[in-house]
Amino acid sequence: MRKLANLFLILFIASAVTGIFHILLQHYETFPVATRIHRTLWGASLISGFLVYLGLGFNCHLPKRVLIPLFLWLFWSLVSYWPLDYFTTDWGRLIAYVAQLIFGAVVLKFNFLLNNKGLLLVPEQFSGPAFSFRSLVIFSLISFIVIPASLLLILFSAVGGILEKSTGGFVQLRPDGLYMKEKVYHLDGKDIRLAGMIHLGQGSYYADLIASIPAERTLILAEGVTDETGLMRYEFSYGNIADNFGLSAQEQFHFAGRRISLSELTQPYRERYDGPHVLAADIDLQQFDPRSIEVLNAIARYLLNAESLVKGYLEFNRWAEENITVDTNRVLMYDLIDKRNQAVIELLPQALERYDVVIIPWGALHMKGIEAAVREKDFYLHDTYLRRSISFFDLPYSRILRQFRRAD
């Protein structure tokens, strides 16, 4: 057990060191190995830490004053150092890893003062009988609360990791709510603001984003699929779901500014003040595959306009099992993500010729592909902003629970 505990101490320090290099080198594609090494050591420190924690119940010689502070640090890091929002940014995480390194070094120094022989645990600290029934009982009672909470934390962290990876970091799940990230890319006096959006959120989130938009020489490439030929048979609106969750729908908020047509994009910019310009940069449903349109109609019919969200979900799920194939899903994602991304990306060269700031406030799932295209144009990440779109503490849980009762 002493060797395992020492391995945990080493991995804790090593994951902090590799974390520092991971942050410093993450923007250089020639150093992906730093990221892989860090993730491996970070995972190994979590696994070894959990095993050492279990060992506390069977080996009373394990120094709790040395190990428990490290367990608490790992716990804190798993919840993204909440409530310290600063640690979620790249430079904030760099500071967090430096702090972890310093914290680990202080703990090792404290252990040296305990044994007077070495920074790591030495055999003299494990002399005498290791097992104590009293210690096992106390440990079991504490673990009855700690282990389930830890498992929930791991599940929460895994879901958050999946969200962050699938959206390129534009969505972050944290203990107090769901956060959306905005990334500002810069090159030669031009800014491209990639603002990851969500269809349902709190009104303050949308208002804060809208208020941050500068007035002069700014173009908003707006999202929103049109339906010129009436292919949608049912109203596609998130308003019903928003009401049931005590939230606001994105469609309720509109960007202030003068709407322009595609033909105006090539005209010289009027120097006098007339606010930001808004250009519809999306495509029409006519460009979708018929299978995609059928799925969207089913979502609107069964889910978005259902009186009970639970019943609506179950009905849509039954419909999907009968009608959605692997090929249908592939076509749907191509229409919803790739085809629409290409439309807005193709407008960027013209937009950048005329405007100093181009804002792309699109759904977070679009951002990974759009960001890759922006980087290909040699734009570099200049700044990031994090906005809380949904506060878990403000949700009307009684109203949400009534939705489940209504499904019985």
The alpha carbon torsion through 119, 120, 126, 132 (nearest 10 deg) reads 110
pTM: 0.78
Q: Which of 39, 115, 117, 102 is CA-nearest to residue 70?
A: 102
**pLDDT score of 92:** 86
**pLDDT score of 82:** 76
Residue 69 pLDDT greater than 90, yes or no: yes
Give the pLDDT mean for 20-42: 79
- Among the residue ranges 101-115, 170-184, 253-267, the one predicted with the least confidence is 253-267
Q: Which of 217, 225, 196, 212 is CA-nearest to residue 255?
A: 212
- The Cβ-side half-sphere exposure at 76, using a 13 Å CA radius, reads 17
**pLDDT score of 54:** 92
Give the pLDDT mean for 387-395: 92
Find the helix packing angle between 2-25 and 64-78, rounded to 10°: 40
pLDDT band at 401 (very low <50, low <70, confident <90, very high): confident
Distance of CA 258 to the CA centre of its chain: 32
pLDDT band at 23 (very low <50, low <70, confident <90, very high): confident
**pLDDT score of 101:** 96
**pLDDT score of 244:** 85
pLDDT per residue over 226-245, tens digit each?
A: 999 999 999 999 998 898 88
**C-alpha distance from residue 226 to each of 149, 200, 264, 304, 367 (Å):** 46, 20, 19, 18, 20
pLDDT band at 407 (very low <50, low <70, confident <90, very high): low
Q: Which residue has the higher pLDDT, 154 or 114?
A: 114
Measured CA to CA, the distance from residue 200 to residue 223 in angstroms comes to 15
Find the helix packing angle between 64-78 and 90-115, rounded to 10°: 170
Q: Which residue has the higher pLDDT, 161 or 322?
A: 322
Contact predicate 87/78, CB 8 Å: no
Measured CA to CA, the distance from residue 46 to residue 216 in angstroms comes to 49
Q: Which amino acid is at 200?
A: L
**pLDDT score of 397:** 87
Find the helix packing angle between 32-55 and 2-25, rounded to 10°: 150
